[in-house]
Amino acid sequence: MVKKIEVPVSGIPFKNNANYCVGTGRMGLALQKEYIDHLKIVQEAVHFKYIRGHGLFCDDMGIYREVEMDGKTSTFYNFTYLDRVMDSYLENGIRPFLELGFMPEKLKSGDQTVFYWKGNAAPPVSYEKWAELITKTLNHLIERYGREEVVNWPVEVWNEPNIGFWAGTMEEYFKLYEYSAKAVKLADPRIQVGGPAICGIDTEHWLRSFFEHCIKKNLPLDFITRHCYTAQPTTTRGHYVYHVMNEPTFMIDELRETRKIMSDYPQVANMPLHITEFNSSYNPLCPVHDTNFNAAFIARILSEAGEYADSYSYWTFSDVFEEADVPKSVFHGGFGLVTLNSIKKPTFYTFEFFANAGNELLYRDENIIVTKKDDTYVIIGWNWHDMRDHKESPDKCYSLLLPSVGKQALLVKKEVGGANANPMQTWSNMGKPRNLDKKQLRILQAAAEPLQTDAKLFENKGVYEVKLAISCNHLCMIEIMPVDDKTDSYLGFDPEEFYGMK
Amino acid sequence: MVKKIEVPVSGIPFKNNANYCVGTGRMGLALQKEYIDHLKIVQEAVHFKYIRGHGLFCDDMGIYREVEMDGKTSTFYNFTYLDRVMDSYLENGIRPFLELGFMPEKLKSGDQTVFYWKGNAAPPVSYEKWAELITKTLNHLIERYGREEVVNWPVEVWNEPNIGFWAGTMEEYFKLYEYSAKAVKLADPRIQVGGPAICGIDTEHWLRSFFEHCIKKNLPLDFITRHCYTAQPTTTRGHYVYHVMNEPTFMIDELRETRKIMSDYPQVANMPLHITEFNSSYNPLCPVHDTNFNAAFIARILSEAGEYADSYSYWTFSDVFEEADVPKSVFHGGFGLVTLNSIKKPTFYTFEFFANAGNELLYRDENIIVTKKDDTYVIIGWNWHDMRDHKESPDKCYSLLLPSVGKQALLVKKEVGGANANPMQTWSNMGKPRNLDKKQLRILQAAAEPLQTDAKLFENKGVYEVKLAISCNHLCMIEIMPVDDKTDSYLGFDPEEFYGMK
Amino acid sequence: MVKKIEVPVSGIPFKNNANYCVGTGRMGLALQKEYIDHLKIVQEAVHFKYIRGHGLFCDDMGIYREVEMDGKTSTFYNFTYLDRVMDSYLENGIRPFLELGFMPEKLKSGDQTVFYWKGNAAPPVSYEKWAELITKTLNHLIERYGREEVVNWPVEVWNEPNIGFWAGTMEEYFKLYEYSAKAVKLADPRIQVGGPAICGIDTEHWLRSFFEHCIKKNLPLDFITRHCYTAQPTTTRGHYVYHVMNEPTFMIDELRETRKIMSDYPQVANMPLHITEFNSSYNPLCPVHDTNFNAAFIARILSEAGEYADSYSYWTFSDVFEEADVPKSVFHGGFGLVTLNSIKKPTFYTFEFFANAGNELLYRDENIIVTKKDDTYVIIGWNWHDMRDHKESPDKCYSLLLPSVGKQALLVKKEVGGANANPMQTWSNMGKPRNLDKKQLRILQAAAEPLQTDAKLFENKGVYEVKLAISCNHLCMIEIMPVDDKTDSYLGFDPEEFYGMK
Amino acid sequence: MVKKIEVPVSGIPFKNNANYCVGTGRMGLALQKEYIDHLKIVQEAVHFKYIRGHGLFCDDMGIYREVEMDGKTSTFYNFTYLDRVMDSYLENGIRPFLELGFMPEKLKSGDQTVFYWKGNAAPPVSYEKWAELITKTLNHLIERYGREEVVNWPVEVWNEPNIGFWAGTMEEYFKLYEYSAKAVKLADPRIQVGGPAICGIDTEHWLRSFFEHCIKKNLPLDFITRHCYTAQPTTTRGHYVYHVMNEPTFMIDELRETRKIMSDYPQVANMPLHITEFNSSYNPLCPVHDTNFNAAFIARILSEAGEYADSYSYWTFSDVFEEADVPKSVFHGGFGLVTLNSIKKPTFYTFEFFANAGNELLYRDENIIVTKKDDTYVIIGWNWHDMRDHKESPDKCYSLLLPSVGKQALLVKKEVGGANANPMQTWSNMGKPRNLDKKQLRILQAAAEPLQTDAKLFENKGVYEVKLAISCNHLCMIEIMPVDDKTDSYLGFDPEEFYGMK
């Protein structure tokens, strides 16, 4: 069935925060060459504004130290690595969305850790030293990067304190929040601070308690953060993890609900809501992340999430990531938009396409948005379907009537899916090599590119007619831009003599 | 109709000289950045061994000079630009196939010129000075690049003396040849020298006379050169030139004939035959050069020309070229494999594919070759048809049975034609901009890439079966390489959980 | 004798137009890779805002063309090369200061040419076609680069019409000016246009006549241009040219005089004065350009010229230049700041140092300026002397008392002269190779660097005391910047254990 | 006092293994961008053949893993990071000299660790699993890089088992050696294996016991390894460590002694002796590593060590190093030839100069070597002195008479010391910033370059006379190469007109 759409001449603002923020493996990994290579690739195409991840205060960043001399112990803050990481972020046009955590060895009150790389989840032995660590770190950043720059770097207090990332109670988290938020404001009152950075467990209770606590104690609070994943609990098999997957609207519903809870508190109701992590699966060993399905699935979320949230930070931009140990193969189910060896995964293009969307929204449904910027249409389409039922979903077919932007236009289409931009399939055809030789790399990098085609459009009765069929688990972007036809300036041009050129 | 081919286990050597030599615009253009950019691109993919063009002794290279002081005139050889050009050739892994010409201003005996850039076609006022120019130039090159290097640089005497490039008679050319060949050998007897560099007019007479002259006078002669173009006379219309086109076998026939004439002279019969220029059209304003038709057409020639000729130098690698004035638009019918702004034309891939062919020829017909290198099959297919008859040629369909190189194999196919690697069509859809802005450039560079797809093959009764349909004016390359399937090493791998991955 | 200077706390604005504009070889050379390499090097260090040279309308740029079809001749403007050159200027952060000239082959009324590359100096056969060429070219640039950009590109009418560059009378130049200036304003009235671009012959007569003509006819005129060279007539010997050299103040005097003439015409008096060419010698075969003497000599000019002129465009940034034929050797007396093989000449640093000067002038005499930007002092010193008298000039010695900018400061000095940044001497020691091999290049590039040294300064009674001796034909720059000494933060630091570190 | 040396016409082979091997921080650091940047810099100048460091089997490399599925535990070898590191080594033209260690978490029998990064020093819980890990790793490398390549990679068993790096007895080390050496030979008998990798404690006992053990048990043993440091025990103060320093001959004596011990065992006597670590201080917080003193001190060692040892691997090429925690400042006393921010330290040039030495040794004493390669002299001089006595050592002065290689020669001198190539002093003048801003970086990188000067030499009675004075803690290299003087080819050249050029 073909859906016929008469696209209106003007629309509404497209609330599109697709490239506001992106997730990253722990900060210590940002020293790796491969990490920086991936960041360059992502930034060239998507231009994320912020980057957020764990590990600022973990010991591999080397910041919090104590040193003894002549029987006296003193604190020493070592910013060698922090500066190197921040330098390379800024060089790549991205700013940190700082997450305060985890606990430095010398400040930990317990031994509970998370991940292969052992982030310490314990409350500090001294809240004062913790607060000083925050203020000193921010002051150092201000000294190095300038106050006017650093006041643009938001700060989030800890990560998912509602589960094993925090070896304390909710009340202890509130205490941590209070010390942290005040320490941030001590560096500069303009620096935005927020929380509670929870994942989707016991959400309402945590949110309400957090809001009430902050309001009651009049704590600094500039924005609200939480995480959203759409997968149901995991089944682990060897080196893999599998899930039942919810629909993408599951996340949209969560956002709506969060806004609803917020709206009960006038002091909080209009605050920015940052989803500081989201993805389909919450596990870096789940194949879904490497699929075309995921590209289409995430597109559905990006098409609407901006109505409710001020950012939604895809977890993560790169498969340089070690939470579940060092990756064991090029494709291994990692979170990244880019996998090892700089191969772009399908979902990379979801973000590239949405970063390129127009700021005016002319039409939106479950499978398509039509946007405009200046005199160019940008249309994004998707058709997700969980193929584990062994049934292909039918094509989503459209006939679009677009108000013309000139007598003639160029349509350029980029397609992801099937034989194109599906490198995991090519890699599987290759026999699933764990590491690549140069020839395999060349094949895979070409296999990761979308299919680009183009066509001429002519205005007819004030509109262009564009037909579009989106196949199962495909994602596409269409750009339509006005053409100034110079053919007449080509003296002696005879179309008959161009061997079939149209 | 599907052609069913049982490819044999072993074949014959594939006489493939596709990347032995390539043509270039006049040497002075090699100073341009755009020229060097194109050379890099071509060399990365095709790895030509030699490059040949005009203009070594033209005044824009600045070599031959006379200077006066105190009433005395002396000759001065200025190698500033020559060295710069040779440096950049060698840095790009290509050696010069030197053409001696045209006549320096100070040595010319007349004013007849060729091309927009006015190469002087007159015989020298002094054959002795001409000879000295050659020897001094070669000696300089030997001093700079080393004798063992320079003895690998062949030298051809003049260009197309049988038409307007030479303002003298045949006998005068023979005199020029004699002086030149001896001057070359004076620099080093190992340097190979040859001629007569004629185009396809009055060929037999020129060849026989030249052979007889050289034999009679016992002149140095190490190889024979001529040119081949397959287009009939031009019709000029404004900025374009059009032709009736011969079949590609026209050139193969010419080569056979040349070899036959050579075989009448035992001293010449087994000499190398270098086609120092070839193409479809001989005019740089003919649209054919920019088409997919040309890619397929040239493929037919490359598939067989090596049986008769030791090289066939495609005229030319780049549209940085000024024989018919400065190019007026991105696509303008130039000879190049690459057009302005570093956009690869379809025929670029003809050379890339043949440069990648195996050294063992297992099967060849009018539309396909099957070759092998080590354990990899390289198959190239083409289907040329002059669309000016408004009829699409039918697909060329094959079912190939290839002796297996393992239980499982990867097939990678690259296709040129139709919507892919057809940038002139995209440029036309764009309205035929003369120069490109950054967005147009990005679109065109992506449009210039072939479509790559891949598939898994399984051995069945000792063979792989591969079906192939080559559409009208398409060119394709298929590589088939053995796969070592590592799937079993993936602990917990469940194919059902990969969202449709096959 | 040591000059003791008490530098005041505040000064006057430093009128420094050292990097406003620079000269270039003809526009067609801007296609060369070597040219672009040099431009990058110069722009990285000096950041010139504008670039001016000849040849916009010369035939190697290919712009003005006529084409015949069906018995009808039409004009065709080909902007392929112009766009390529403008693209590469803008990519390197420099804008064109357009010079209209010379005459296209198809518009020339005579055969008088200038230079090895034969710029045609004749008036147009049709002033209307000339005017149309200008307007079409500007309109094309506006279409490609945007109107708001192109209105910043000044336009100068022709070059040195008072000598052999113009094969017409003064009155004919005024006619050319009128047609040209109006054609410029037709493209956009905001584009600045000026002339008369004369060299220093019969100056006053030309200037007054030109002013009076423009005023009388009320012609568009936005700025005044002329050229200044400080060398006396040439003696030619083989491949070289030698002169008697005037003092640098010769040029300052010329500027003053020009301003005086201008001041007699209220309509002109306050217009910008652009010296669109200046140098010591006006010949590209004069060794002076390659010497340290020249670096110091030009420094004297740069220290004061901004008081009278709004720009003074050093002729030229690069030895990629062909007015006197293709350069015959690495060092050959060319105008460039950079010679072939990207070797920086001493005068390169004169411009680098002045481009780095502060905007506040605290002190200036014949051999030194003391400037300040923010809290950093920038001091430039020079000591030129024409060594052809075989006598070294005595050192210029200073003791500077600079108001402190903190308790402690870092002094960094860069020196040009003697054994440092004197690559022509090294090249001479090498035996004067015409082209370089890789080892020679490496040695020369290192030899071309200035000597950098540094020291700690301490405040004493509110000032730093800096002693400075400038040797014969040396140039130096001293930067003094405040230091925040972190030594106390180094726990356990024992200066005794640093093996002599101070 | 000037030492007058008549350098002979021919000499003896210079046993120079200065660039055979270099040390590195643990292998996991090779993933860092900064590490790879430094490696590129070092390889461009020094071209080390091998690189050796710790941590191949440490858990940050992620190789040895165990995984459970369905109640069954199996071993998994993950070569993701190993391949990435080896790829980047080979891309930079360096091969690994593999050190087997330390113990993977899953194989450790105890908890004793070394360094900030906690390398586990315990014997394996299963020697069989340890051996399998070695063989599997080598087999993987052979599969990826080719057997003919990998047989060139030597393997050393463990590191300094005679001190805290090995939590077992000497006998247990011998057991480890036996399992390891056999496991290596199982992968390929051509792979060279050796030990005992001891540092200079209880040396003779360890060497003799090891030799006797290997001989008695007829174990594979292809080369002998040990370490040499010339510093006496440490004094720790806060973030620094200080020592009394031995003379450089201390190390030469150790080498001689080791050779003497070896010579007692005919089976071992002629084996290669690899000093797999050496330096002045053995601690990465000792300022000596950053000084010019060290550059001259190490030069003395390099001048003679090749007489006794087949390699001596400077510990280490880069300050990307974490054994004593993350570096706290640009200069911090690290082992590297290059410190953070890619700043070359003085000792960098010691290796650059010796890598450039000739293969013929004409003269050698305590402060100078005179070598020759082809027709070029390479002279290296040094003058070390421990300035902690506050006395400058007198200059070492030479008058060298060198047999001429032509009438005229070019002398190029590079000097390290005093105001040149002494970036730590400049950094101290800067106030010792911990991290650098862009301006500081630019100043320091220039400050790190040696002073290059040059001069012309003329033959006189068959020799060149070269005078040389080496100041306290200076290092220099002089190259003297024949010059072909082209001055006569410069028509019109008048030396009087070159403004003082000599």
DSSP annotation of A430 reads T
Which residues in chain C have their CB less than 8 angstroms from residue B61's CB?
326
pLDDT at B1: 83
Instruction: Give the chain A residue nearest C68 (alpha carbons).
Output: A491
**Would residue B334 count as lying in a domain?**
yes
Q: Which of residues B308, B323, B356 is at a domain's end?
A: B356
Residues of chain A falling short of pLDDT 50 = none
pLDDT tens, residue by residue, B375-426: 999 999 999 999 998 899 999 999 999 999 999 999 999 999 999 999 999 9
Identify the H or E element spanning C311. Answer: strand C311-314
Q: Are strands D21-24 and D50-53 parallel, antiparallel or unpaired?
A: parallel
Which residue of C69, C74, C491 is in closest CB contact with A67? C491
- Map residue B376 onto helix, strand or coil: strand
Minimal CA separation from D416 to chain C, in Å: 13
Which residues in chain D have their CB less than 8 angstroms from residue B67's CB?
491
Query: Which of C104, C100, C109, C123 is CA-nearest to residue C184?
Result: C100
| Chain A partners (3+ C-beta pairs within 8 A) | B, C, D
Minimal CA separation from B41 to chain D, in Å: 21
Mean pLDDT, range B251-275, rounded to an integer: 97
Compute the distance between CA of residue A331 and CA of residue C36 in angstroms, rounded to an integer.
43
Question: DSSP string covering D119-148, please?
Answer: EE-PPBS-HHHHHHHHHHHHHHHHHHH-HH
Q: Are strands C21-24 and D50-53 parallel, antiparallel or unpaired?
A: unpaired
pLDDT tens, residue by residue, C447-469: 999 999 999 999 999 999 999 99
User: Does residue D403 share a domain with residue D300?
Assistant: no
User: Inter-chain contact C500–D451, Cβ cutoff 8 Å?
Assistant: no
Compute the distance between CA of residue D38 and CA of residue D384 in angstroms, rounded to an integer.
26
User: Does residue B371 share a domain with residue B279?
Assistant: no
User: Does residue A323 share a domain with residue A364?
Assistant: no
Compute the distance between CA of residue D489 and CA of residue D502 in angstroms, rounded to an integer.
17
| Active-site residue, selected from the candidate residues A156, A160, A254, A304 | A160
Identify the H or E element spanning A277. Answer: strand A273-279
| Chain D partners (3+ C-beta pairs within 8 A) | A, B, C
pLDDT tens, residue by residue, D46-61: 999 999 999 999 999 9
Is the ipTM beyond the 0.90 threshold? yes
| Active-site residue, selected from the candidate residues B6, B91, B105, B160 | B160
Compute the distance between CA of residue B499 and CA of residue A331 in angstroms, rounded to an integer.
14
**Would residue C500 count as lying in a domain?**
no
**Would residue C498 count as lying in a domain?**
no
**Would residue C494 count as lying in a domain?**
no
Compute the distance between CA of residue A463 and CA of residue A407 in angstroms, rounded to an integer.
9
Which residue of C144, C238, C328 is in closest CB contact with B80? C328
Mean pLDDT, range D353-358, rounded to an integer: 98
**Would residue C499 count as lying in a domain?**
no
User: Does residue A364 share a domain with residue A341?
Assistant: no
User: Does residue B367 share a domain with residue B328?
Assistant: no
DSSP annotation of A160 reads -
DSSP annotation of C177 reads H
User: Does residue D419 share a domain with residue D303?
Assistant: no
| Chain C partners (3+ C-beta pairs within 8 A) | A, B, D
B:C CB pairs within 8 Å:
71
**Would residue A500 count as lying in a domain?**
no
pLDDT tens, residue by residue, D416-458: 999 999 999 999 999 999 999 999 999 999 999 999 999 999 9
User: Inter-chain contact B485–A431, Cβ cutoff 8 Å?
Assistant: yes
Instruction: Give the chain D residue nearest A88 (alpha carbons).
Output: D33
Output the domain CATH number for residue A376: 2.60.40.1500
Q: Are strands C376-382 and C475-482 parallel, antiparallel or unpaired?
A: antiparallel
Which residue of B67, B69, B491 is in closest CB contact with D67? B491
- Map residue C17 onto helix, strand or coil: coil
Mean pLDDT, range B125-131, rounded to an integer: 98
Give the number of other CB atoms < 10 A from CB of residue B118: 15
Q: Which two tokens stand for residue D90?
A: 């080979």
Compute the distance between CA of residue A469 and CA of residue B269 in angstroms, rounded to an integer.
63
Task: Please list the pLDDT of chain C residue by residue as tens digits (502 residues).
Answer: 899 999 999 999 999 999 999 999 999 999 999 999 999 999 999 999 999 999 999 999 999 999 999 999 999 999 999 999 999 999 999 999 999 999 999 999 999 999 999 999 999 999 999 999 999 999 999 999 999 999 999 999 999 999 999 999 999 999 999 999 999 999 999 999 999 999 999 999 999 999 999 999 999 999 999 999 999 999 999 999 999 999 999 999 999 999 999 999 999 999 999 999 999 999 999 999 999 999 999 999 999 999 999 999 999 999 999 999 999 999 999 999 999 999 999 999 999 999 999 999 999 999 999 999 999 999 999 999 999 988 999 999 999 999 999 999 999 999 999 999 999 999 999 999 999 999 999 999 999 999 999 999 999 999 999 999 999 999 999 999 999 999 999 999 999 999 999 8
Compute the distance between CA of residue D212 and CA of residue D170 in angstroms, rounded to an integer.
13
* Residue D258 amino acid letter: T
User: Inter-chain contact D492–B74, Cβ cutoff 8 Å?
Assistant: no
| Residue C486 backbone zone (phi > 0: left; psi -120 to 50: alpha; other: beta) | alpha
Instruction: Give the chain A residue nearest B297 (alpha carbons).
Output: A499
Provide the strand spans (E) within B33-143.
50-53, 64-69, 72-77, 95-96, 98-100, 113-114, 119-120
| Residue A121 backbone zone (phi > 0: left; psi -120 to 50: alpha; other: beta) | alpha
Identify the H or E element spanning B307. Answer: none
Q: Are strands D311-314 and D273-279 parallel, antiparallel or unpaired?
A: parallel
Q: Mutate which of A80, A491, A493 to test chain C, going by most C C-beta atoms within 10 A?
A: A491
Which residue of A69, A74, A491 is in closest CB contact with C67? A491
Count how many domains chain B has.
2
Q: Which of residues D356, D378, D397 is at a domain's end?
A: D356
User: Does residue A439 share a domain with residue A302?
Assistant: no
Task: Give catalytic residue positions of D.
Answer: 160
Task: Give catalytic residue positions of C.
Answer: 160
Compute the distance between CA of residue C119 and CA of residue C159 in angstroms, rounded to an integer.
11
User: Are residues C413 and C476 in contact, defined by beta-carbon separation less than 8 angstroms?
Assistant: yes
User: Inter-chain contact A76–C491, Cβ cutoff 8 Å?
Assistant: yes
Listed in sequence order, the residues at least 6 apart from A452 whose beta carbon sits closer than 8 Å to its beta carbon are A412, A413, A414, A415, B443, B446, B447
The alpha-helical segments, DSSP class H, found in D193-274 are 203-217, 249-263, 266-269
Angle between helices D33-46 and D80-91 (to 10 degrees): 30
pLDDT at A184: 98
Output the domain CATH number for residue C229: 3.20.20.80
User: Does residue C364 share a domain with residue C330?
Assistant: no
User: Are residues C50 and C97 in contact, defined by beta-carbon separation less than 8 angstroms?
Assistant: yes
Which residues in chain B have their CB less than 8 angstroms from residue A388's CB?
496-497, 499-500
C-alpha to C-alpha distances, C331 to A469, B171, B408, D371, nearest whole angstrom: 66, 44, 64, 32
Minimal CA separation from A57 to chain B, in Å: 34
**Would residue C497 count as lying in a domain?**
no
φ and ψ of C82, to 5 deg:
-55, -45
Compute the distance between CA of residue D110 and CA of residue B489 in angstroms, rounded to an integer.
31
Mean pLDDT, range D230-259, rounded to an integer: 96
Query: Which of A159, A44, A41 is CA-nearest to residue A97?
Result: A159
Q: Which two tokens stand for residue B390?
A: 């408004």
Query: Which of B236, B67, A151, A342 is CA-nearest to residue C239?
Result: B67
The alpha-helical segments, DSSP class H, found in C6-121 are 33-46, 80-91
Instruction: Give the chain D residue nearest A140 (alpha carbons).
Output: D435
Q: Is residue B182's pLDDT more than 90?
A: yes
Minimal CA separation from C353 to chain B, in Å: 30
User: Inter-chain contact D80–A340, Cβ cutoff 8 Å?
Assistant: yes
Listed in sequence order, the residues at least 6 apart from B72 whose beta carbon sits closer than 8 Å to its beta carbon are none
User: Are residues C277 and C54 in contact, defined by beta-carbon separation less than 8 angstroms?
Assistant: no
Instruction: Give the chain A residue nearest C74 (alpha carbons).
Output: A491
Q: Which two tokens stand for residue D365?
A: 């004493």
User: Does residue C388 share a domain with residue C345?
Assistant: no
User: Inter-chain contact C431–D494, Cβ cutoff 8 Å?
Assistant: no
Domain housing D378: 3-10+360-489
pLDDT tens, residue by residue, D357-369: 999 999 999 999 9
User: Are residues B246 and B232 in contact, defined by beta-carbon separation less than 8 angstroms?
Assistant: yes
pLDDT at A1: 83
User: Inter-chain contact C497–D287, Cβ cutoff 8 Å?
Assistant: yes
Q: How far separated are the first and last CA of chain C, in Å rounded? A: 30
3-state secondary structure C90-131: HHCCCEECEEECCCCHHHECCCCEECCCCEECCCECCHHHHH
Q: Which of residues D326, D356, D386 is at a domain's end?
A: D356
Give the number of other CB atoms < 10 A from CB of residue A212: 13
User: Does residue C101 share a domain with residue C225?
Assistant: yes
User: Does residue A34 share a domain with residue A119?
Assistant: yes
pLDDT at D472: 97
Mean pLDDT of chain D: 97
Q: Which two tokens stand for residue C80?
A: 């392929």
Which residues in chain A have their CB less than 8 angstroms from residue C67's CB?
491
pLDDT at A346: 98
**Would residue B313 count as lying in a domain?**
yes
- Map residue C271 onto helix, strand or coil: coil
Q: Which two tokens stand for residue C317?
A: 């940034």
User: Are residues C206 and C162 in contact, defined by beta-carbon separation less than 8 angstroms?
Assistant: yes
Mean pLDDT, range D282-301, rounded to an integer: 98
Q: How far separated are the first and last CA of chain D, in Å rounded? A: 30
Which residue of D31, D67, D79 is in closest CB contact with A239? D67
User: Inter-chain contact A80–D328, Cβ cutoff 8 Å?
Assistant: yes
User: Does residue A317 share a domain with residue A214?
Assistant: yes
Q: Which two tokens stand for residue D71?
A: 């109640």
pLDDT at D66: 96
C-alpha to C-alpha distances, C492 to C496, C497, D282, nearest whole angstrom: 11, 10, 18
Query: Which of A409, A394, A420, A423 is CA-nearest to residue A478?
Result: A409
Q: Are strands B113-114 and B193-198 parallel, antiparallel or unpaired?
A: unpaired
- Residues of B in CB contact (< 8 Å) with C are 31-34, 36, 61-62, 65, 67, 69, 76, 78-81, 83-84, 88, 144, 237-239, 325-329, 340, 434-435, 437
Which residues in chain D have their CB less than 8 angstroms from residue C412's CB?
443
Judge residue D103's burial from the number of C-beta atoms within 10 Å of its C-beta, 0-12 exposed, 13-18 middle, 19 or more buried: buried
User: Inter-chain contact C79–B434, Cβ cutoff 8 Å?
Assistant: yes
